Amino acid sequence: MTIAVGDKLPDVKLVKAGANGPEPVQSSEYFAGKKVALFSVPGAFTPTCSAKHLPGFVEKAGDLKSKGVDEIVATAVNDAFVMGAWNKASGSDDITMLADGNAEFAGALGLTMDGSGFGMGQRGQRFSMVVNDGVVEQLNVEAPGTFEVSSADYMLGQL
């Protein structure tokens, strides 16, 4: 079952790519008490993710925060070291990287995809959501192969 607007995020372990290395976090605790712009990509350093998705949120971080967003979070089915390197290479201090290395978060959301045709195995779909105190307020899931409704610009229009 896919998560929907009004649902509470599932409680799973994620790993934050911190300044001093990987930091385990529980999603129920991490998303509590704040408004988060969350976006998910199939993989760090992949073409659309690196050329459009992450840069859009980096560029629009100030605009999102001016609309009441407390934190911007990127997630992918990658390990925390890869997510940290991706943020260092293409991101900013405005973006928090949460690694979903075993696809537990994407799976609990019902938003996985099979990337085995590209040698990527199980991955998270491309999507974005606004999460307020752990509850989904907006959910934007991309059709396969598209990048339209999960962008920072689209989210800004929802806030």
The catalytic residue positions are 49
**For residue 21, what are the contacts with CB-CB under 8 A and spacing of at least 6?**
80
3-state secondary structure of 136: strand
From residue 6, alpha-carbon distances to 3, 85, 129, 134 in Å are 9, 33, 11, 10
In sequence order, the β-bridge partners of residue 138 are 130
Q: For 53, list phi and psi in degrees, rounded to 5.
A: -65, -60
From residue 4, alpha-carbon distances to 10, 58, 149 in Å are 12, 26, 15
Residue whose C-alpha is closest to residue 82's, from 124, 46, 127, 37:
46
3-state secondary structure of 28: helix
